[in-house]
Amino acid sequence: MSDLPEFLDRGRPDVPDLVVARAVLPFHLPHRAVRGRLVRLGVLADALLTRHDYPEPVARLAGEALALAAGLATALKFRGSFSVQARGDGPVRLLLADCTEHGALRGYARLNREALESLLATNPNPRAAALLGNGYLAFSVVQGAEREPYQGIVAIEGESLAEMAGAYFRASEQIKSLVRLAAARGEAGWRAGALILERIPLPRDSGAPRDIESEEESWRRATLLAETLTESELLDEGLAPERLLYRLFHAEGVSVAQPRALAFGCRCSRARLADILESFRPEELDEMRTEAGEIVMTCEFCNVDFRFARERLRGRTSR
């Protein structure tokens, strides 16, 4: 326990100081109505997922959510964060992954352990739909304290998380998108990746009308090619990202941009959690106190326990 007052203790907890320098590779197809991002979390997937004692199907789902959040967040044109959240009535009650525009990535799953054990007893390898049940999928964008967060919500629809994300984009009538996701545990630990395609208007001469038919055809061809991508290719670290994109889209032409980094991004600290505790009344803090006179708070993202001496907390004294 630090000697600093809690509200000043913003030191990072004991978590991996880990950065994957080339985790996200943006690309576009020149003269085609398509741009995209190829995401490979590398060792970061294992570092994030093994912080929790998840059964394999849950870890796989959480890994896919992390890759999806990373792929969407790195398209942000402003300072902020992007989060993917699914809430359902299944064994996974909450699935959350978020990533800042700088690539700080984190996530967790909140489970009903009894319901999960019951499901796994009859279905050892359930898909996302069985794990989440009925509920909703939300994509949220936070642009800082000065602007209201944006959140889009749709009912969960589809068997996989990729299908659910596709249903979200169709329902929200935003830019046309295709999402491929994969996560698996191999000899080197967990790995996760994503391929995200987006349809964009084709460049045109000033004043010339858009050729919608040509844009549709270029989008159709790109999605057909993307559908040939296998999970093993997406996760194969021996296959360079540029080589993979060339394998998929060489007939269309593909141009890559500057790679983006991702990092272990839990943003918890004693100061943040102390602020939460100080919002409780003194009698409520007394109820939280253990026999040792401490209040223990666990960060759901990094699974680190923070211990606070009860006497160092004042609590809220007025309404």
In the chain, the percentage of residues whose pLDDT exceeds 70 is 90
Calpha distance 71→66 (Å, rounded):
9
Tokens of 243: 């080589």
Tokens of 87: 């809430």
Which whole number is the average pLDDT over 234-256?
Answer: 94
Which whole number is the average pLDDT over 88-113?
Answer: 95
Q: Above 70 in pLDDT, residue 6?
A: no
- Yes or no: say if 266 and 301 are a contact pair by the CB < 8 Å rule: yes
Which whole number is the average pLDDT over 256-263?
Answer: 95
Please give the pLDDT value at position 144: 67
Please give the pLDDT value at position 319: 54
Q: Above 60 in pLDDT, residue 46?
A: yes
Per-residue pLDDT tens over the stretch 169-228 = 988 766 789 999 999 999 999 999 999 999 987 666 544 456 667 778 889 999 999 999
Task: Point out the least confidently predicted range of 74-78, 97-101, 271-275, 304-308.
Answer: 74-78
Q: With helix as H, strand as E and coil as C, how does the chain read?
A: CCCCCHHHCCCCCCCCCCEEEEEEEEEEECCCCEEEEEEECCHHHHHHHCCCCCCHHHHHHHHHHHHHHHHHHCCCCCCCEEEEEEEECCCEEEEEEEEECCCEEEEEEEECHHHHHHHHHHCCCCCHHHHHCCEEEEEEEECCCCCCCEEEEEECCCCCHHHHHHHHHHHHCCCCEEEEEEEEEECCEEEEEEEEEEECCCCCCCCCCCCHHHHHHHHHHHHHHHCCCCHHHHHCCCCCHHHHHHHHHCCCCCEECCCEEEEECCCCCHHHHHHHHCCCCHHHHHHHCCCCCEEEEECCCCCCEEEEEHHHCCCCCCC
Instruction: Give the confidence band of 151 by pLDDT, cuts at 50, 70, 90.
Output: confident
Instruction: Give the confidence band of 12 by pLDDT, cuts at 50, 70, 90.
Output: low
pLDDT: which is higher, 279 or 128: 128
- Yes or no: say if 66 and 78 are a contact pair by the CB < 8 Å rule: no
Which whole number is the average pLDDT over 299-305?
Answer: 85
Which whole number is the average pLDDT over 53-74?
Answer: 96
In the chain, the percentage of residues whose pLDDT exceeds 90 is 60
Q: Above 90 in pLDDT, residue 66?
A: yes
Q: Above 90 in pLDDT, residue 124?
A: yes
Greatest mean pLDDT among 9-18, 113-122, 292-301 lies in: 113-122
Q: Above 50 in pLDDT, residue 58?
A: yes
Q: Above 70 in pLDDT, residue 13?
A: no
Please give the pLDDT value at position 206: 44
Domains in the chain (CATH in brackets) are 19-264 (3.55.30.10), 269-312 (3.90.1280.10)
Instruction: Give the confidence band of 306 by pLDDT, cuts at 50, 70, 90.
Output: confident
